[in-house]
Structure 1
Amino acid sequence: MTKWVRFRADGAIGFGTIAHSDIAVHDGEMFGANTPTGRTLQLGDIELLAPCAPGKIIGLWNNFHALAAKLNQSIPPEPLYFLKATTSVAAHGAVVNRPASYDGKVVYEGELGIVIGKRASGISEAEAAAHIFGYTCVNDITAADILNRDPSFPQWARAKSFDGFGPFGPAIATGLDPATMSIRTLLNGAERQNYPVADMVFQPHKLVSLLSHDMTLEPGDLICCGTSVGVGVMKEAVNSVTIAIEGIGELHNEFRQAAKA
């Protein structure tokens, strides 16, 4: 297993592999040919960025059996998904502020993220593994009151795309079997979600294959696999949220409410 990170050091953006607090810097392209430079940086000496810059972010709805049962939703015959603005991306450790234009409920959604490593168009499920670079932790933050505010048009993109509403990271882990993973979400230190990837309606390889028949997936694209039971509102003035997936790591962020006049 290897964990890949992206960082800023001395004003330049770089990438490499991380073990504990040591980053082995690489040259080349994360999703192409690359080689270690022999240079090592300490985590405390760099600014950790989101581990890649997605060209598009795809988010799944109703992709877990347990949540479908709780909401009395039927199991979809094909993936139900939306697109999330790339300007929503936030890094591990970033502070996410409530949008000034929105005063409704904001919820956390702990999810597994799939990062594409090789261009995929019309591929089979058996071919999908070769096109997946690795997996990451995602918090698909949502402005819940916007989503169905207009009964004529569900506003998925708007509800999901405020600046900072797409934290993911801290790393992209390769060489993992997603079927063995569980996703945990902690809000202000209390566990709110703990659910297995095995409960997913469309497992990662199947999902990548199906999506690739709708649109070409490019290296760096991020697929947020959807969430399960335990989603909740962030109510405190400062909300500490951790998305933890064994083998990948822990994504930490704060969500802060707007100061009252």
Structure 2
Amino acid sequence: MRWLRFTHQGQPTLGLLQDGQVLLHRGLPWAAPEATGESVALADIPPSAWLPPVQPGQIIGLWNNFRAAAEKNGWAAPAEPLYFLKSPHCATGHGQAIPAAPAEVGRVAYEGELALVIGRPAYRIQREEAAACLFGCTVANDVTAMELLNRDASFAQWSRAKSLPGFGALGPWVDTDFQPATATLHTRVGGRERQNYALADMFFPPEELVWRISQELPLRPGDVILCGTSLGVLPMKPGTLVEVEIAGLGVLANTYG
């Protein structure tokens, strides 16, 4: 099942995608939403109408979660997930422009990633419960202000560098049946491929991330976990179209600036 959100008749609306049609619903996708009986064609949703597929209470991002990137950069394999928090207010949807950061922020980079969406409360759960707490997957661009991150040598500013408006692009939908173990992620910048990596290269795969993070942070339905990125991260120029595609899941497209 693929759930998406968009603006319809001036209101945020939940939709279920089936055979090119979006069936409108009321409620939340993980809480028995009610069909309204209305539908619109997917092709008729204008780019400006797309919303993030969920409204996260938390956005949790992983650092150093891919073996290839760790090997190239000389990073040690992590003993546990290394994560930071992004402001949920930085979330934006497929098709939306990511506002260019002020010049004083410095260079800004794309990071194509797999995102996990929580569907049940999870706090100090057992490892075998993690799969049931995972509602589905979506595509993410975890945008980063590269120079701002380490501008102050005494304090790495992860949340600040990751939370500017639009820096949490998500979409186009949440797929409840997607299996990431055999999938590959591709990021295209201005039509040129910059990232191409297998999701199976993670140190901590999705269900393990849910389990481990829940030991410390209470997770709630709608929360998002960004699984981290791999090789190919580079700065973007204003006006650049960035497309993050995960085979079998979808394409998230946003213009920076």
- Other-structure match for 2:180: 178
User: SS where residue 89 of structure 2 aligns?
Assistant: helix
In 2, the alpha carbon distance for the partners of 1:210 and 1:8 equals: 35
In 1, the alpha carbon distance for the partners of 2:186 and 2:104 equals: 27
Alignment of 1:195 onto 2:186: no
Task: Supply the AA of the counterpart residue of 1:234.
Answer: M
TM-score by length of 1: 0.94
Deviation of 1:112 (Å): 0.2
In 2, the alpha carbon distance for the partners of 1:213 and 1:14 equals: 33
Task: Supply the AA of the counterpart residue of 1:81.
Answer: Y
Task: Supply the AA of the counterpart residue of 2:240.
Answer: N
CA RMSD of aligned residues (A): 1.3
Task: List gaps (5 residues or longer) in structure 1.
Answer: 257-261
State the aligned residue count: 254
| Paired residues for 1:207-218 under 5 Å | 207-218=209-220
Indicate the larger mover: 94-103 or 162-171: 94-103
| Paired residues for 1:95-174 under 5 Å | 95-100=97-102, 102-174=104-176
Task: Supply the AA of the counterpart residue of 2:148.
Answer: I
**CA offset digits 1:17-44 (Å, max 9, x no partner):** 1135420112332121123232111232
Deviation of 1:97 (Å): 1.9
* Contact 1:173/1:247 (<8 A) preserved: no
TM-score by length of 2: 0.95
Task: List gaps (5 residues or longer) in structure 2.
Answer: none
Deviation of 1:139 (Å): 0.3
User: SS where residue 206 of structure 1 aligns?
Assistant: helix
| Paired residues for 1:1-261 under 5 Å | 2-19=1-18, 21-43=20-42, 44-45=44-45, 47-100=49-102, 102-235=104-237, 237-256=238-257
Evaluate the alpha carbon distance shift between residue 45 and residue 185 of structure 1 in structure 2; reply closer, same or farther with a 3 A threshold: closer
**CA offset digits 1:144-194 (Å, max 9, x no partner):** 001111111001001101011111101001112221121110000011111
**CA offset digits 1:185-239 (Å, max 9, x no partner):** 000001111111110000100010000001110000000000000111113x411
* Contact 2:14/2:27 (<8 A) preserved: no
In 1, the alpha carbon distance for the partners of 2:126 and 2:104 equals: 42
Percent identity over paired residues: 45
* Contact 1:183/1:244 (<8 A) preserved: yes
In 1, the alpha carbon distance for the partners of 2:252 and 2:202 equals: 21
Task: Supply the AA of the counterpart residue of 1:4.
Answer: W
